[in-house]
C-alpha cells in the first residue's frame, strides 16, 4: 500500500474515532464509506458524556475534525428551517466562535511576517481575538494614524490540515466514481477538484484582498452594499488588514428590530445584491454565512448591508450565465417547455432526451411552489426533488455551478431568517429581465460589434498583404494550379471585389457604432439615427452578391 493510501486510510479511521468519541455512531452507520469500518467501534470507547445535546456534540466533533468539516457546519448553519433549533444554535457558533489559537502565537507570527515588533506596525493591537473561524482568526487593531482596522491571520498549519482532508475527499470521490451506480452522472472527481481550487484559493489572503477591492469597485456609490477598505501596504499572503466594520450582525434579529430597520427592504435588497453580483458583475461573494454579513442603519428605511471575508468568490462562464438566467425567467413565467429545452441545449441532459417528458417532470416539481412566500417553500426541498427528477434523465452535475448553488442556498436561509414573507420572484424577476435584454437585444449586438471592431480593423489591415501573397503564389505557379489566363484574371477581379466589399462593411460598422454612441450619449439623437441608417444601407449594398 502506498504512503498516500495508508495516510488516507488512517485519516478515515481517525474520522470514525472522533465521531464515536462524541457519541455520533449513527452517522457512521448511515454513511456508506465508513460502514465497513464499524467493527472498529470497540477500539474507540465513548469518552464524552452523551447526555450533552446532540448539537453540541456535532459542533465539537466538527471542530476536532478540522477546517473542512467546520466549513461544512458553517454552510448548513444558515438553514435553520431545515435543522432542529438546538443543532442550528450550536452550528451557528462555528461562524466566528471556533476556539482561537493563542494570542502570543499570533503576535509572534505577525512580527515574523513584518520583520519588526508589532508595536512598530500598529499603534494598538488587541490580543484577545475578535473572532475565530475555521481557517483564520481576527484581531482588532489601529494603524499608526489611528485608523481602526481588523487584522486577519491564517491559522498555523492550516494548509497541511486542509490538504490532508482533500486527499480523503479525492479518495472517496474515486471510489464513488468507480463503484457508485450514479457516480459518473454526479461527477464526484470534478466536484472535489472544483472544491479544492476554491478552498486552496482561500488560503491566500492577498487574493482575498484583491477580491475585496474588486467587489468594492463593483458597488462603488451603491446604497445596497458596503465593502470595507483594504490597506495593501500591510497585507501579506498570510495576513489581511482592512477597515473595521461597525454594524449589527445579520444574525442578531433582536438588535435589528430594536434599531427600527425596515426588515422587508433589507431582505429584498439581499436578493437584489445576489442577482446583481451573479448576472451584472459576474463576480459574487460565495461565502455568505451570517458571520460575514453586517447591517448599518444610518437610515432606518434604507438599511445597508456590509460584507466581509471575500476569500471565496465565484464567476460563471457567459454561456452558463445565459442558460441560468433563461432558466430563472422561464421558471418565473411557468414556461417549463423552455426550461426543458434549455437543459437539452446546454448539454446538461443527453441530446436524445424527449423534451415533452422532461417538461412534464419539471412542471410536477416546480408548479406547486410558484408564487408562494418564502415561508412556505424550501429551495433545498425543490433541489432534492429536481435531483431525483434529473436522475431519470441522466442529468450530469455541473461542478462549475456548485459555488452558485451553495450561495443561493445561503441566500434563501438569510431571507427566511429576515423576512419569511419575502416574494423572491417579484424581487428577482425585473433584474433578470433587464440583464437578459441587455444580452440579446439590439444594444447588445452593437456592443459586441464595438468590442470586435479592433479585430475587424486588424483583419482589414492585413487583407492587402494576404491578397498580394496569393496573387504572387498564383503567378509563380507555387500553388500548382493549372489555370488559363482568363481564369487567372477572373480570380484577380474577384479578390479585388471582395476587398472592396470588406472595406465597405468595415466602414459601415464604424459608422453604425458612431451613430449608436451618439444615440446613447448625446442629448440630440437624430444625427446618430442618420448615421445608423446610412451605415445599414452601406452594409447592405456592400454585402457579397450586390
Active site positions, annotated: 287
**Concatenated DSSP letters of 421-440:** T--HHHHHHHHHHHHHHHHH
Look at strands 124-125 and 136-142 and give their pairing.
Answer: antiparallel
Measured from the Cβ of residue 249, the count of other Cβ atoms closer than 10 Å reads: 16
The Cα–Cα gap between 97 and 64 comes to: 14
Torsional sign, CA 289, 384, 317, 367? negative
Note the helical H segments in 39-155.
54-65, 67-77, 85-92, 103-114, 118-121
Cβ neighbours of residue 171 under 8 Å, at least 6 residues apart?
A: 5, 8
CA neighbor of 267 nearest in space, from 382, 85, 405, 412: 412
Helix (H) or strand (E) holding 136: strand 136-142
**Concatenated DSSP letters of 157-204:** THHHHHHHHHHHHHHHHHHHHHH-TTHHHH-HHHHHHHHHHHHHHTT-
Beta-bridge partners for 156: none
- Summary count for the chain: helices (H), strands (E): 22, 11
277 half-sphere exposure, CB direction, 13 A CA radius: 26
Task: Write out the three cell numbers for 271.
Answer: 436578493
Q: Are 122 and 143 in contact (CB under 8 A)?
A: yes
Task: Write out the three cell numbers for 419.
Answer: 423576512
The Cα–Cα gap between 437 and 442 comes to: 9
**Concatenated DSSP letters of 190-247:** HHHHHHHHHHHHTT-HHHHHHHHHHHHHHTTT-SSEE---B-GGG-BTTEEEEEPP--
In this structure, the chain runs to a length of 546
Beta-bridge partners for 239: 153, 236
Cβ neighbours of residue 76 under 8 Å, at least 6 residues apart?
A: 82, 83, 91
Q: Are 267 and 259 in contact (CB under 8 A)?
A: no
The Cα–Cα gap between 409 and 390 comes to: 19
Q: What are phi and psi of 136, to 5 degrees?
A: -145, 170
Torsional sign, CA 112, 116, 121, 127? positive
Amino acid at each position: 500500500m502506498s504512503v498516500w493510501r495508508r495516510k488516507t486510510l488512517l485519516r478515515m479511521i481517525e474520522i470514525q474515532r472522533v465521531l464515536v468519541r462524541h457519541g455520533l455512531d449513527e452517522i457512521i452507520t448511515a454513511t456508506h464509506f465508513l460502514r465497513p469500518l464499524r467493527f472498529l467501534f470497540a477500539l474507540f470507547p465513548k469518552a464524552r458524556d452523551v447526555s450533552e445535546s446532540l448539537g453540541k456534540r456535532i459542533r465539537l466533533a466538527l471542530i476536532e475534525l478540522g477546517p473542512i468539516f467546520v466549513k461544512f457546519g458553517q454552510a448548513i448553519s444558515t438553514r435553520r428551517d431545515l435543522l432542529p433549533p438546538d443543532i442550528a444554535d450550536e452550528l451557528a457558533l462555528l461562524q466566528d466562535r471556533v476556539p482561537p489559537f493563542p494570542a502570543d502565537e499570533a503576535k509572534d507570527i505577525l512580527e515574523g511576517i513584518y520583520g519588526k515588533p508589532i508595536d512598530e506596525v500598529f499603534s494598538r493591537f488587541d490580543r484577545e481575538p475578535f473572532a475565530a473561524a475555521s481557517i483564520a482568526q481576527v484581531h482588532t487593531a489601529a494603524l499608526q494614524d489611528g485608523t481602526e482596522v481588523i487584522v486577519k491571520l491564517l491559522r498555523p498549519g492550516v494548509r497541511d490540515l486542509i490538504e490532508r482532508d482533500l486527499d480523503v475527499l479525492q479518495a472517496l470521490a474515486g471510489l464513488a466514481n468507480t463503484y457508485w451506480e450514479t457516480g459518473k452522472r454526479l461527477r464526484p472527481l470534478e466536484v472535489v477538484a472544483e472544491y479544492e481550487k476554491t478552498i486552496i484559493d482561500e488560503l491566500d489572503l492577498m487574493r482575498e484582498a484583491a477580491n475585496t477591492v474588486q467587489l468594492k469597485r463593483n458597488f462603488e456609490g451603491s446604497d445596497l452594499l458596503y465593502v470595507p477598505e483594504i490597506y495593501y501596504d500591510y497585507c501579506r499572503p498570510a495576513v489581511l488588514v482592512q477597515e473595521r466594520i461597525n454594524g449589527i450582525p445579520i444574525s442578531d434579529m433582536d438588535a435589528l428590530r430594536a434599531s427600527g430597520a425596515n426588515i422587508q427592504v433589507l431582505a429584498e435588497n439581499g436578493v437584489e445584491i445576489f442577482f446583481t453580483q451573479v448576472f451584472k458583475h459576474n463576480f459574487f461573494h460565495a461565502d455568505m454565512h451570517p458571520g460575514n454579513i453586517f447591517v448599518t442603519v444610518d437610515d432606518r428605511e434604507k438599511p445597508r448591508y456590509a460584507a466581509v471575508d471575500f476569500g471565496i468568490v465565484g464567476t460563471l462562464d457567459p454561456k452558463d450565465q445565459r442558460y441560468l438566467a433563461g432558466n430563472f425567467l422561464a421558471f418565473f413565467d411557468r414556461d417549463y417547455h423552455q426550461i426543458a429545452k434549455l437543459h437539452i441545449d446546454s448539454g446538461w441532459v443527453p441530446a436524445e432526451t424527449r423534451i415533452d417528458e422532461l417538461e412534464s417532470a419539471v412542471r410536477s416539481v416546480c408548479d406547486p411552489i410558484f408564487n408562494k412566500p418564502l415561508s412556505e417553500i424550501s429551495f433545498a426541498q425543490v433541489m432534492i426533488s429536481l435531483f431525483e427528477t434529473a436522475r431519470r434523465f441522466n442529468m450530469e452535475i455541473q461542478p462549475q455551478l456548485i459555488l452558485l448553488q451553495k450561495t443561493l442556498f445561503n441566500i434563501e436561509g438569510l431571507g427566511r431568517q429576515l423576512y419569511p414573507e419575502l416574494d423572491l420572484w417579484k424581487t428577482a424577476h425585473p433584474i433578470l429581465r433587464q440583464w437578459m435584454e441587455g444580452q440579446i437585444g439590439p444594444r447588445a449586438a452593437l456592443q459586441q460589434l464595438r468590442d470586435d471592431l479592433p479585430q475587424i480593423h486588424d483583419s482589414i489591415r492585413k487583407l492587402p498583404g494576404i491578397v498580394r501573397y496569393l496573387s504572387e503564389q498564383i503567378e509563380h505557379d507555387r500553388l500548382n494550379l493549372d489555370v488559363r489566363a482568363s481564369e487567372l484574371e477572373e480570380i484577380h477581379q474577384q479578390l479585388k471585389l471582395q476587398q472592396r466589399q470588406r472595406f465597405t462593411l468595415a466602414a459601415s460598422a464604424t459608422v453604425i457604432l458612431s451613430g449608436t454612441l451618439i444615440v446613447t450619449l448625446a442629448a440630440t439623437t437624430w444625427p446618430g439615427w442618420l448615421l445608423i441608417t446610412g451605415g445599414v444601407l452601406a452594409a447592405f449594398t456592400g454585402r457579397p452578391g450586390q
